[in-house]
């Protein structure tokens, strides 16, 4: 058994291009896992092992690696920064105990940093902060620290100060030890010396050290009182206070350096050991019942308890199907039988491996706190499923994933590839819960849905290169929705007589707009037994089944409340199926009367642009029906926040690059659904009708 206090399960996350993958490479080099660092810009980094990642210089899927530092075991997950792959960050955070938030020294708190930071807050993951790229032009450690406070509403606890900046950045001062770490020009991480603080920084070091101690010692009133009386606390006591404040997210120890130039990485590794929690120090995962309600019990992290684990990622690579799991309690040995709580099926474990990005080490056993991969599971395990001991079935709190907002139609170029495509897409859907597929009933086309243009672009690329399926790709389609705007009282009778017993069901009901986000709500206030209670589930099922297809253009319907207040039945002819059909007919009859309305997805768009192009960018967003929500000036440009309909954002990256001479950046994520302007709604409905007519021909 391994000592769990020596485990650190950490993720590295940030905005695109802040240096996450480069930081991971340096950690692997320093911990002896790799002997030559691979650079992202050369397409040779360890964790970006997909062809698409190497070519584009971005991380697409999270990769797990294990390494050791100061007798502590690190399970490190390098996550994507691009907004289309945020699900990878979300599901990684779900199983981590701590994280390293990387911020660019010149870019500061960028759009996607906010989203990832918010996810980490929601998941209650303790973090240390690494302000990277201090060797870049425009880098400013103190400005980024202020941004973290202002934009993220978080308290950065400054642990080190930079010595020099931009081309003159040579090292850092450790505020706790009052010692300077200075690296030479060889670019090797081990080539540093620890010396006295430069004379011109002495006052600043004392000022920031006092601030550090005031904040940290707030965690222990006795120590703070003694410090106020002039008594210097021991290093052990200071670190204990920082550890406690980090665990409770009162503050975030903040470091700086340049991952690319190998400066400051050792301090981050020491901080992970000293301040981030072990698996036993975080709040245990809550257990839930079959209805998703908390039971009040928790998965206590201990190797001695019964086996409980969460499957957080499914992937299929050249070695076979892999199920990544985080073990919360108990142990797992080769040959053990475990149960998938979601399906109730049991399975014997054949092979288990520890991952090193796309390489692997065979394991014979694993225990609470470990992140491992199980090879070739057969019980239809999906992301978010709980694996447990068959004698002690439990369910861990599951994951909730956002719905896709954009779709494309695809058809194989040759008919022989149809089966190959369906097998490949089946594997890809299992791997990515935000990637959906359906077949259009009218046209027979395969419709792929995802989180953005880049997301679907990558999926088509994977189908082509990994699975050898050449596709004809249709225009992107927006995931419109429908709703109602008026309340309607109505009545509907379903009657059918065809020899023998017939069908009869009468409904008197009220249909009205629901609260935003409420979905489908059904309630019955029938009194006196005019509609027997045993038919209520069938009536609800009938109404609910119609929510998938609206009356305007066949899009799913949102936020409808239906109240059944009276009706009638026949002692012989009434049945569950008769009332279900009555509910379907009632829905079709009443929705057009209730002011049916088309809704379109609105995206929160966050654009960074150099000062000179602000007017162009705002003008362009206005032309795209965007509503500007705010502007914020930074040192190297301006951030513009706007709410823009998704239908007007296709191809935006090309326009932005043209307007800003290639220097603009943006991210966007789904915000909410809003009513379409009449002209837009009419055009969408006309197009849907025309497409259907063409398909029928």
pLDDT in tens, 141-181: 999 999 899 888 899 999 999 999 888 989 999 999 999 99
Question: Residue 63: its pLDDT value, please?
Answer: 55
What are 418's two structure tokens?
């149809």
Q: What is the mean pLDDT of residues 662-683?
A: 84
Q: Is 447 exposed, middle or buried (0-12, 13-18, 19+ CB in 10 A)?
A: middle
Question: Residue 66: its pLDDT value, please?
Answer: 77
Segment of 103-107, 434-438, 476-480, 491-495 carrying the highest mean pLDDT: 491-495
What phi-psi label fits residue 138: left (phi over 0), alpha (psi between -120 and 50 degrees) or beta?
left
Confidence of residue 81 (pLDDT cuts 50, 70, 90): very low
Is the Cβ–Cβ distance between 437 and 411 less than 8 Å?
Answer: no
Q: What is the mean pLDDT of residues 265-274?
A: 91
Sign of CA dihedral 450, 453, 457, 458: negative
Question: Residue 273: its pLDDT value, please?
Answer: 93
| pLDDT of residue 403 exceeding 80 | no
Rounded to whole angstroms, the Cα distance separating 271 from 127 reads: 10
CB atoms within 10 A of CB 472: 10
| Helical residues (DSSP H) of 403-549, grouped into ranges | 418-431, 453-465, 536-545
Strands (E), 184-269: 192-196, 252-256
Q: Which residues contact 142 (CB under 8 A, 6 or more apart)?
A: none
Q: In terms of pLDDT, which residue wins out, 160 or 688?
A: 160
Segment of 37-51, 138-152, 308-322, 425-439 carrying the highest mean pLDDT: 138-152
Please list the residues that pair with 560 across neighbouring strands.
513, 520
Confidence of residue 53 (pLDDT cuts 50, 70, 90): very low
Q: What is the mean pLDDT of residues 265-278?
A: 91
Q: Which residues contact 678 (CB under 8 A, 6 or more apart)?
A: none
Rounded to whole angstroms, the Cα distance separating 547 from 555 reads: 9
Question: Residue 67: its pLDDT value, please?
Answer: 78
Confidence of residue 636 (pLDDT cuts 50, 70, 90): low
Is the Cβ–Cβ distance between 647 and 593 less than 8 Å?
Answer: no
Query: Which among 274, 210, 268 is positioned nearest to 237, based on CA atoms?
Result: 274
Q: In terms of pLDDT, which residue wins out, 314 or 135?
A: 135
Q: Which residues contact 199 (CB under 8 A, 6 or more apart)?
A: none
3-state SS, residue 656: helix
| pLDDT of residue 590 exceeding 80 | yes
Q: Which residues contact 654 (CB under 8 A, 6 or more apart)?
A: none
| Distance from chain centroid for Cα 255 | 25
Q: Name the CATH superfamily for 294-396.
A: Translation factors (2.40.30.10)
| pLDDT of residue 323 exceeding 80 | yes
Question: Residue 627: its pLDDT value, please?
Answer: 94
Is the Cβ–Cβ distance between 254 and 158 less than 8 Å?
Answer: yes
Rounded to whole angstroms, the Cα distance separating 554 from 562 reads: 20
3-state SS, residue 427: helix
Q: Tell me the CATH number of domain 600-679, given options 3.10.580.10, 3.40.30.10, 3.90.1150.10, 3.30.70.240.
A: 3.30.70.240
Q: Which residues contact 235 (CB under 8 A, 6 or more apart)?
A: 176, 177
Rounded to whole angstroms, the Cα distance separating 343 from 274 reads: 41
Query: Which among 61, 31, 35 is positioned nearest to 48, based on CA atoms?
Result: 61
Segment of 122-136, 315-329, 423-437 carrying the highest mean pLDDT: 122-136
pTM of this prediction exceeds 0.75? no
| pLDDT of residue 693 exceeding 80 | no
Question: Residue 697: its pLDDT value, please?
Answer: 61
| pLDDT of residue 55 exceeding 50 | no
Q: What is the mean pLDDT of residues 654-683?
A: 84
Q: Which CATH architecture has domain 4-281?
A: 3-Layer(aba) Sandwich (3.40)
Longest Cα–Cα distance in the chain = 102
Question: Residue 1: its pLDDT value, please?
Answer: 45
Please list the residues that pair with 258 across neighbouring strands.
263
Query: Which among 385, 456, 406, 359 is positioned nearest to 91, based on CA atoms?
Result: 385
Confidence of residue 235 (pLDDT cuts 50, 70, 90): very high
Question: Residue 191: its pLDDT value, please?
Answer: 80
Q: What is the mean pLDDT of residues 424-439?
A: 81
CATH class of 485-595: alpha beta
Q: What is the mean pLDDT of residues 523-548?
A: 89
What are 153's two structure tokens?
């509403």
| pLDDT of residue 18 exceeding 60 | no
Q: What is the mean pLDDT of residues 11-40?
A: 62
Confidence of residue 15 (pLDDT cuts 50, 70, 90): low
Backbone torsions φ then ψ of 273, nearest 5 degrees: -65, -45
Confidence of residue 296 (pLDDT cuts 50, 70, 90): confident
Question: Residue 255: its pLDDT value, please?
Answer: 95
Q: Which residues contact 226 (CB under 8 A, 6 or more apart)?
A: 233
Say whether domain 406-477 belongs to CATH 3.30.70.870. Answer: yes
Confidence of residue 499 (pLDDT cuts 50, 70, 90): low
Among 330-334, 354-358, 393-397, 405-409, where is mean pLDDT lowest? 354-358
pLDDT tens, 437-466? 888 765 667 888 887 777 788 888 888 877
Q: What is the mean pLDDT of residues 88-95?
A: 70
| pLDDT of residue 220 exceeding 70 | yes
What share of the chain in percent tops pLDDT 70?
86
Check for a shared fold between 406-477 and 600-679. yes
Q: In terms of pLDDT, which residue wins out, 445 or 2?
A: 445
Is the Cβ–Cβ distance between 177 and 207 less than 8 Å?
Answer: no
Question: Residue 46: its pLDDT value, please?
Answer: 40
Indicate the domain borders of the chain: 4-281, 294-396, 406-477, 485-595, 600-679
Question: Residue 581: its pLDDT value, please?
Answer: 93
| pLDDT of residue 635 exceeding 70 | no
Confidence of residue 489 (pLDDT cuts 50, 70, 90): very high
Query: Which among 424, 421, 404, 403 is positioned nearest to 412, based on CA atoms?
Result: 421
Q: What is the mean pLDDT of residues 657-662?
A: 81
| Distance from chain centroid for Cα 286 | 20
Average pLDDT value for the chain: 82
Among 213-227, 347-361, 366-380, 384-398, where is mean pLDDT lowest? 347-361
Question: Residue 232: its pLDDT value, please?
Answer: 87
The Cα angle at residue 267 between residues 261 and 271, in degrees rounded to 5: 140
Question: Residue 186: its pLDDT value, please?
Answer: 74
Query: Which among 58, 62, 98 is positioned nearest to 77, based on CA atoms?
Result: 62
Confidence of residue 183 (pLDDT cuts 50, 70, 90): confident
Q: In terms of pLDDT, which residue wins out, 451 or 409?
A: 409
């Amino acid at each position: 058994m391994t000592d769990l206090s020596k485990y650190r399960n950490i993720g590295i996350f940030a905005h695109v291009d802040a240096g996450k993958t480069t930081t991971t490479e340096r950690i692997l080099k320093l911990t002896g896992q790799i002997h030559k660092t691979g650079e992202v810009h050369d397409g040779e980094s360890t964790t970006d092992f997909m062809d698409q990642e190497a070519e584009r210089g971005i991380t697409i899927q999270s990769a797990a690696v294990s390494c050791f530092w100061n007798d502590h075991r690190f399970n490190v997950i390098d996550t994507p920064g691009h907004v289309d792959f945020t699900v990878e960050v979300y599901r990684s955070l779900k199983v981590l105990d701590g994280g390293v938030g990387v911020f660019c020294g010149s870019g500061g708190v960028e759009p996607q940093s906010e989203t990832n930071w918010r996810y980490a807050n929601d998941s209650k993951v303790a973090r240390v902060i690494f302000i990277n790229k201090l060797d870049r032009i425009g880098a400013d450690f103190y400005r980024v620290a202020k941004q973290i406070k202002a934009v993220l509403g978080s308290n950065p606890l400054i642990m080190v100060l930079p010595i020099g900046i931009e081309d003159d950045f040579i090292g850092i001062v450790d505020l706790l030890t009052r010692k300077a770490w200075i690296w030479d020009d060889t670019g090797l991480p081990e080539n540093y010396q620890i010396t006295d603080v430069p004379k011109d920084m002495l006052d600043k070091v004392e000022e920031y050290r006092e601030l550090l101690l005031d904040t940290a010692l707030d965690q222990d009133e006795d120590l703070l009182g003694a410090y106020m009386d002039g008594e210097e606390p021991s290093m052990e006591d200071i670190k204990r206070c920082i550890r406690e404040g980090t665990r409770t997210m009162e503050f975030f120890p903040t470091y700086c350096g340049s991952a690319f130039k190998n400066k400051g990485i050792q301090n981050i590794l020491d901080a992970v050991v000293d301040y981030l929690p072990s698996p036993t120090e975080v709040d245990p995962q809550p257990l839930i019942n079959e209805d998703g309600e908390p039971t009040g019990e928790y998965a206590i992290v201990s190797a001695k308890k019964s086996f409980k684990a969460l499957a957080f990622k499914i992937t299929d690579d050249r070695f076979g199907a892999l199920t990544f799991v985080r073990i919360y309690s108990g142990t797992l040995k080769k040959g053990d039988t475990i149960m998938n709580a979601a399906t109730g099926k049991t399975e014997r474990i054949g092979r288990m491996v520890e991952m090193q990005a796309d390489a692997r080490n065979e394991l014979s056993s694993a225990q609470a706190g470990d992140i491992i991969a199980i090879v070739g599971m057969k019980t239809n395990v999906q992301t978010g499923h709980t694996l447990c001991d068959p004698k002690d079935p439990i369910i861990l709190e599951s994951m909730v994933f956002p719905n896709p907002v954009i779709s494309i139609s695809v058809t194989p170029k040759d008919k022989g590839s149809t089966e190959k495509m369906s097998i490949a897409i089946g594997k890809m859907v299992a791997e990515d819960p935000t990637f959906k597929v359906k077949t259009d009933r009218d046209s027979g086309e395969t419709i792929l849905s995802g989180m953005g243009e880049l997301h679907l672009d990558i999926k088509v690329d994977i189908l082509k290169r990994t699975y050898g399926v050449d596709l004809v790709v249709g225009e992107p389609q927006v995931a419109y929705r429908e709703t109602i705007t008026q309340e309607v009282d109505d009545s509907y009778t379903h009657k059918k007589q065809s020899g023998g017993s017939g069908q009869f069901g009468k409904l008197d009901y009220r249909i009205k707009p629901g609260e935003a986000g409420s979905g489908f709500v059904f309630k019955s206030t029938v009194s006196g037994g005019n509609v027997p209670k045993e038919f209520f589930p069938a009536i609800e099922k009938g109404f609910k089944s119609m929510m998938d297809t609206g009356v305007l253009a066949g899009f799913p319907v949102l936020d409808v409340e239906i109240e059944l207040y009276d009706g009638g039945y026949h002692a012989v002819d009434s049945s569950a199926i008769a009332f279900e059909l009555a509910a379907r007919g009632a829905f079709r009859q009443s929705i057009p009367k209730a002011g049916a309305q088309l809704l379109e997805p609105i995206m929160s768009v966050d654009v960074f642009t150099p000062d000179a192009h602000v007017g162009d960018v705002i003008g362009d967003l206005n032309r795209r029906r965007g509503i500007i929500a705010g502007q914020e000036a930074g040192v190297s440009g301006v951030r513009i926040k706007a709410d823009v309909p998704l239908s007007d954002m296709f191809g935006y990256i090309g326009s932005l690059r043209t307007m800003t001479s290639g220097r603009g950046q943006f991210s966007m994520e789904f915000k909410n659904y809003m009513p379409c302007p009449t002209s837009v709604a009419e055009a969408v409905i006309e197009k849907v009708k025309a497409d259907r007519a063409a398909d029928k021909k």
